[in-house]
């Protein structure tokens, strides 16, 4: 079975997807890490993020790998860029502010979508992103779209980062989240939106257990 979970930042996608994959014995794949890895690679190499051709070239050149977690420091998996562990580096404010711009580029999306589709079509997978149910795997057996108010989502992300001892401001988080929501949902290629046959949950007033039970009840 192929399960697609889409939705905006911090709507609870990765928590639910991970639990669902563990419960069913499926592969969990978070497609956001690929866009984050390209963005990190571009920033690291000093590539101007607005230079579409250069960023696209880099996306085709780099090797992104996602593997089972090698450390128990809160990570769900290891993310490697050309063999180097960048699991936490892709979660920095610099990546947060630039990733949506990188994700608008057609050639970047084409390269990422191709890999994601290959992995997804093997089946027994819970794939998470923005366009999984609409573009990457429109044939998915179950499509879930998680949403929540931007205030609730910013609060969750703020608490996550504080728990990791990071110096962050709530106002800053809600501001980049609004910007990202806007870019992601208005871009021309594969914008963030629920597929016509997606089941939509508003998680604003639900905790992770409640969302998990609701989603699981659709399967079992
Ligand atoms: O974890 P969070 O929800 O903050 O974001 P993410 O899932 O890691 O995705 C980061 C960014 O990558 C999104 O804001 C999108 O711009 C882009 N993305 C995308 O365009 N398509 C996907 N399938 C997944 C992510």
pLDDT value of position 50: 98
**Closest residue by Cα to residue 211 from 11, 4, 9, 3:** 11
| CA contacts within 13 A on the Cβ side of 115 | 19
**Closest residue by Cα to residue 129 from 111, 113, 108, 153:** 113
Distance between CA atoms of 22 and 77, rounded to whole angstroms? 13
Token pair for residue 80?
């490697």
Probe target for ligand 1 pocket from 34, 91, 99, 127, with the most ligand atoms within 8 Å of CB: 99
pLDDT value of position 220: 82
Task: Calculate how far, in angstroms, residue 14's C-alpha sits from the geometric centre of ligand 1.
Answer: 11
Angle (CA) 144 148 151, round 5°:
155
Q: Whose CA is nearest to atom 13 of ligand 1?
A: 100
pLDDT value of position 65: 94
pLDDT value of position 190: 97
Q: Is the CB of 40 under 6 A from ligand 1?
A: no
The per-residue pLDDT for range 147-177, each reduced to its tens digit, is: 999 999 999 999 999 998 999 999 999 999 9
What does DSSP assign to residue 71?
S
DSSP 81-140: ETTEE-TTGGGSHHHHHHHHHHTT-HHHHHHHHHHHHHHHTTSSEEEEESSIIIII-TT-
Q: Is the CB of 130 under 6 A from ligand 1?
A: yes
Q: Is the CB of 36 under 6 A from ligand 1?
A: yes
pLDDT value of position 116: 97
Q: Is the CB of 99 under 6 A from ligand 1?
A: yes
Low-confidence ranges of the chain (pLDDT < 70): none
DSSP 129-188: ESSIIIII-TT-SEEEEEE--HHHHHHHHHHHHHHTT----HHHHHHHHHHHHHHHHH-S
């Amino acid at each position: 079975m192929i399960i697609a979970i889409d939705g905006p930042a911090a709507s609870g996608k990765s928590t639910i997807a991970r639990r669902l994959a563990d419960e069913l014995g499926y592969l969990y794949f978070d497609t956001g890490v690929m866009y984050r890895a390209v963005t990190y690679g571009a920033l690291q190499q000093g590539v101007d993020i607005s230079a579409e051709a250069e960023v696209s070239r880099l996306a085709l050149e780099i090797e992104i790998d996602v593997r089972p977690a090698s450390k128990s420091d809160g990570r769900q998996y290891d993310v490697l860029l050309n063999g180097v562990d960048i699991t936490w580096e892709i979660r920095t404010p610099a990546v947060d502010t630039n990733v949506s711009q990188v994700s608008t580029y057609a050639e970047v999306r084409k390269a990422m979508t191709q890999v994601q589709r290959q992995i997804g079509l093997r089946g027994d997978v819970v794939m998470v992103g923005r366009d999984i149910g609409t573009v990457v795997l429109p044939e998915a057996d179950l499509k879930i779209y998680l949403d929540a108010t931007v205030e609730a989502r910013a609060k969750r992300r703020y608490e996550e980062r504080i728990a990791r001892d990071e110096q962050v401001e709530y106002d800053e988080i809600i501001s980049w989240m609004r910007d990202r929501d806007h870019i992601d949902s208005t871009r021309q290629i594969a914008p963030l939106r629920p597929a016509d046959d997606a089941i939509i949950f508003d998680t604003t007033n639900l905790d992770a257990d409640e969302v998990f039970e609701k989603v699981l009840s659709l399967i079992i």
